[in-house]
Amino acid sequence: MLMPGSTATNARDDAAAISRQVGRALRREARSLFWRGWQLTQISDELGVNYNTLASWSRRDGWETDSAVAVIEDRLEVKIANLIDKEPFTEGDMKRVDFLTRQLERTARVRKYSESGKEGDLNPKVANRNNEEAKAKRADKRKNFLTLEQWQALLDDFHDRNFEYQELWWDQRHQRTRKLRKSRQVGATWYFAREALAKVAEAVLDAAGKDKLSLDETPRNQIFLSASERQALKFRREIVGWVRKVTGVELKGKAILLDFVGQYPEDEDGEATGPALDQVGFYFLSTNSATAQGESGDFYFDEYAWVHGFGELNRVASGMATHTIYKKTYFSTPSTKTHESYAFWSGEAWNQGRAKGDQQPFDISLKNLRRGAVMPDGSWQQILTIHDAVTMGLGKLVNVDELRREYSDEAFRNLYECEDVDDSESSFPYARIAPARVDSFLKWRDFRPALIDIPGGRPFGDRPVWIGYDPNKQGRDDAALVVLAPPEQAGKGKFRVLEKIRLNGLDFAGQAEAIRKVAGRYRVTDIAIDTTGHGLAVWELVRNWFPLARKIEYSVASKTALVVKAQNVFRNQRIEFDAGWSDLMQALMAIRPALTGSKKGVTYVAKRNGEIGHADVAWALLNALSNEPLDAGSASEGTGGTIRFLD
């Protein structure tokens, strides 16, 4: 119930409110006219407001000192109000109001920026980039960054998985130069890929809490040299796979550049708890003297004893580690004593040119180098045979007796006991086959090996290929297949070995199916199969879906023709294969002439306990090459037939 007199009171309050509203509107209109250049006297006459009142408003509200943004906002508001009150209100008016409103939003951001100085207040996109959600997304997507916890996890996993001989290599990581001769399949590539990253992990973790690092304490670039880029990228795959498995981080880039920005968290005072680290790169290079330079860092030279032109290449590549803080590691299975790297290993190259009194012998005996030793040139050298590797942990993975049965005595000594090959009697000595090695990754632009493992992939398009197959003999697990790209014109141009595949543990049906699978990704125009042993059964099955499959019955005459043809091809440098395929070179070097059982003829063998074998990949290649006639091109460069001794 209203009290007496309440109606009058409410009326007075409403009138006062209206009066205040009108007063604010007049004051704002007066300011707007003033900002448009009107004099106070003109405004007084226009609005009927006392001059002194206008002067007081101007002084108190700072009309003369207001910012340009305030003036613009006022003009925009006036225009918007006028357009909204307009009759009729057209579609064009609506667009003008929308435009003016957006300008008003911009002036509001300018005003806020002038107060805060934050670019995010001026530009919404910048603000969105810097909000917590965006920062979290960037942290997730940050390229090649590992936290201290992840670095520690990698270092712990590294040591947990090493064998004893690999820990010995780690203990010698600070040696300026390491040279290793090692058995096949002892995990050297796997180890040294991980060692390179583990050295960086160690440096990053040791730097925590320090303000400054000496040069030898800083993380260093890591450079990997291999005979071909395809081989060098094996190191990259090992590193990327290891980091993904341990940390879940996917390292990116052909050259992996590690990001250390913000590596060390800030303390309570906002200061970093470690030094600023320069970016570190992992570079994967082929052994090309024109390209294996330019970067500086620790370098790893893989299978250096099989690299063509080692002396010149080593002079160029070792320049990457000129500074004393950088380390050099050479590791390889042995090749031949005629290879340039043997003088590097034996000390002959170091002693060459020195006065006789200054020369020093290098004791490169297994007895001296079993656990490693420092040589007169200051390098640390080691020989790791399969026997020592087994003693120091590899026995969990390797059966030495089984390996002995699979390889000839000579091949076993070369591959697993670190003895050099004597290729003086080989039908394919190192010097003859070395020029065939190329960096296929760079040179063969029409071959895409990445498509090999993709279902339906055509790595060589629709170009023709030949397949050579050497089956296992008498049940031994040494079957091999070679995919060969022939030259466009017989007798001219170069053959290219696109693939080499070992098919172990398969019966004749499994071998035939494997050939079909490989043939499915190429346009095959010839398949040549040695029909010795299981080969005849394999050929019968292959002929069902490839009727033109050629059957090669090994005899003294046929093997001589195969070898002579291949010698002609290599002698004329008409063949190329990937420089990383040292096993193909070893197989070719294992083939040599021998007297037949009657002692009246010469055949070609790669002995395994007196029987033909081991060089399965080489024989598969020779089978494929036989599809080009002996007299193609320059037929006079080789002769065929059987050599007989007359009584």
Tens digit of pLDDT for each residue in 60-87?
888 887 777 777 777 777 777 777 887 8
Radius of gyration of the chain (CA): 40
Q: Is residue 290 scored above 70 in pLDDT?
A: no
Highest mean pLDDT among 69-83, 215-229, 284-298: 215-229
267 pLDDT higher than 80: no
Distance CA 491, CA 494 (A): 9
Q: Give how far the C-alpha of residue 65 lies from the chain's centroid of Cα atoms, to the nearest Å.
A: 64
- 412 located within any domain: no
Residues 458 and 377 in one domain: no
Under the banding of pLDDT at 50, 70 and 90, the label for residue 9 is low
Tell me: the pLDDT tens digits for 431-450? 899 999 998 888 999 999 98
pLDDT, position 140: 55
- The CATH number of the domain holding residue 485 is 3.30.420.240
Residue 269 lies in a domain: yes
User: Greater confidence, 168 or 425?
Assistant: 168
Over residues 466-489, the mean pLDDT reads: 83
> pLDDT of 534-574, one tens digit each?
889 999 999 999 999 999 998 888 888 999 999 999 999 99
Question: Do 154 and 119 belong together in one domain?
Answer: no
Cβ atoms within 10 Å of 595's Cβ, excluding its own: 13
Reported as a single tens digit per residue, the pLDDT across 167-178 is 999 999 999 999
Residue 17 pLDDT > 70: no
Both 257 and 204 in a single domain?
A: yes
Dihedral sign for Cα 221, 224, 229, 233, please. Answer: negative
- Residue 642 scores a pLDDT above 50: no
Q: How many domains does the chain have?
A: 3
Q: Would the pLDDT of 412 be above 80?
A: yes
Specify if 362 maps to a domain: yes
Residues 294 and 156 placed together within one structural domain of the fold = yes
457 and 368 within one domain: no
Contact of 468 with 485, CB cutoff 8 Å: no
Q: Check whether residue 118 and residue 203 sit in a common domain.
A: no
Q: Are residues 115 and 152 in the same domain?
A: no
Q: Tell me: do 534 and 609 sit in the same domain.
A: yes
Do 107 and 207 lie in one domain? The reply is no
Most confident listed range (100-104, 304-308, 608-612): 304-308
Residue 132, domain member (yes or no): no
Res. 37 pLDDT band, cuts 50 70 90: confident
**Total-model pTM:** 0.64
Residue 137 lies in a domain: no
With residue 185 as reference, give the H or E element that holds it. Answer: none
Q: Tell me 474's DSSP state.
A: T
Per-residue pLDDT for 215 more than 50? yes
Are both 512 and 566 inside the same structural domain? yes
- 130 three-state secondary structure: coil
Residues 446 and 364 placed together within one structural domain of the fold: no
Q: Across residues 247-274, what is the average pLDDT?
A: 88
| Token pair recorded at residue 242 | 């290891």
79 exposure class (CB count in 10 Å sphere: 0-12, 13-18, 19+): middle
Higher pLDDT, 605 or 488: 488
- Specify if 4 maps to a domain: no
Among 350, 384, 418, give the residue marking a domain's end.
Answer: 384
CA distance 403 to 388: 15
Q: Give the pLDDT confidence score for residue 127 in this predicted structure.
A: 60
Domain membership of residue 136 (yes or no) is no
pLDDT of residue 416: 93
The reported pLDDT for the residue numbered 56 is 86
Q: d(Cα 447, Cα 322) in Å, to the nearest integer?
A: 37
> Last residue of a domain, which of 94, 126, 158?
126
389 band by pLDDT with thresholds 50, 70 and 90: very high
- Asked whether residue 390 is domain-assigned, the answer is no
> Domain containing 287: what range?
148-384
Give the number of other Cβ atoms within 10 Å of residue 569's Cβ. 22
Asked whether residue 361 falls in the same domain as residue 436, the answer is no
Q: What is the CATH number of the domain that holds 299?
A: 3.40.50.300
352-373 pLDDT tens trace = 989 988 999 999 999 999 999 9
pLDDT at 351 over 90: yes
